[in-house]
Amino acid sequence: MSETSLQEKPDVKSYINDRDFNAESEYEYGSRAGFWRLFRLFEKYGMKLTLCAVAEALEAQQEAVTRRVTRPRFSAAQESFIQQATQSLKALSGHAPHGWFYCGSSLNSRTLVPTVYADMGEELIWASDTYASDVPYWVDLPLDRDSAAPKGCFMVPYSDE
């Protein structure tokens, strides 16, 4: 369950046994960017890192502990849907979309869409399913975590207001 009582919209109801990605995106800086920037500095200068963290938070962000990137198991239907939508839009417009708004994203969306794009040889430049800032920002993609030159993704925050 996501913590929704601390977000800027206190009247939002919590989901039982489910996550609220909008609430989570308001607090994602640490796991999205802050930790990884510090991690890279420690790694660059050969410094050891002691992590003081909440176990439940690490369960949700296991990469911070394992530092391994593996391709998640997605259903063929999810991959097929993204491929079909991308191919359809490419046939209509002459090119694949360079951006994506997930709208009702799943636990896998932020990894699945860039992975499918990479598998198709297409370039995903931006995504817009975040409320985490008032200005656009770059994120590392899970499939780029061990890359010496990660491409990342440009996040263009969406606003309800």
In the chain (161 residues long), the average pLDDT of successive 10-residue segments reads 56 69 73 79 76 64 59 69 89 89 71 89 89 86 80 83 63
Q: With both helix axes pointing from N to C terminus, report the angle between 109-120 and 76-93 in degrees, rounded to the nearest 10.
A: 60
Decide if 131 contacts 157 (C-beta within 8 A). Answer: yes
**How many domains does the chain contain in total?**
2
Is the residue at 160 inside a domain? no
The reported pTM is: 0.53
Q: Do 138 and 153 contact (CB within 8 A), yes or no?
A: yes
> Does 11 reside within a domain?
no
Q: Are 120 and 106 in contact (CB under 8 A)?
A: no
Among 125, 130, 127, 128, residue whose Cα is nearest residue 151? 125
81 plus 26 within the same structural domain: no
The reply to whether 8 falls in a domain is no
Assess whether 30 and 107 both reside in one domain: no
The predicted structure's pLDDT at residue 51:
63
Report phi then psi at 155, rounded to 5.
-90, 125
Residue 75 sits in a domain whose CATH number is 3.20.20.370
Q: Is residue 96 part of a domain?
A: yes
Task: Give the bridge partners for 126, in sequence order.
Answer: 99, 154
For residue 91, being part of any structural domain is answered with: yes
Give the separation between CA 51 and CA 64, rounded to whole angstroms.
Answer: 9
